[in-house]
Amino acid sequence: MEWGLFGGAFLAWCAALCWFDVRERRLPNVLTLPAVCVALGVSLWAVFDGAPAPLVGLTLWTAVNGTAFLARGMGAGDVKLAPTLGAVAAGAGGVPAALLAVLGAQFLTLAWALVARDRTVPHGPAMIAATLAVAASTA
């Protein structure tokens, strides 16, 4: 996948989200919701172009985080971040890459919580780090 200008904008968006989540413990709707709309649109376009992986990744990560949210295991911002990151991970490396990003994010958050000795660490930065790692390794 050629990242080009999208890659720079995506990295800036990721940095802003990490900053907000670490500092404020929230992911602002103004950053997450437009990205969900773009991810959904691009994923649907990809399906019609014969590449269903981004839509599957979007759906998969949203379902995982939505389930955790319903069990009060994470915040709504993480659920709104999931579709975009799922689509990016799957777009870069297929559905296995999206699964790896989901699992990697869980592992990174758990490791952060253990090191910090804090049960309430933000999950967004781990989601972003896992997605970037997967996308970079498959690009």
The interaxial angle of helices 53-70 and 76-116, nearest 10 deg, is 70
Query: Residue 73 has what pLDDT?
Result: 86
The half-sphere exposure of 53 on its side-chain side, counting CA atoms within 13 A, is: 13
Q: Which amino acid, residue 53?
A: A
Q: Which is it for the CA torsion 55, 101, 28, 7, positive or negative?
A: negative
Count the Cβ atoms, other than its own, within 10 Å of residue 14.
22
Give CA angle at 45 (69, 86), nearest 5°: 30
Mean pLDDT by 10 residues, the chain (139 residues): 77 97 97 98 96 98 97 94 98 97 98 94 98 92
What per-residue confidence (pLDDT) applies to 1? Answer: 52
pLDDT at 2: 62
- Entry pTM: 0.94
Sign of the alpha-carbon torsion through 14, 22, 101, 57? negative
Tokens (6 digits) for 41: 């649109």
Which pLDDT value is given to residue 119?
87
Give me the residue spans of the domains in the chain.
4-138
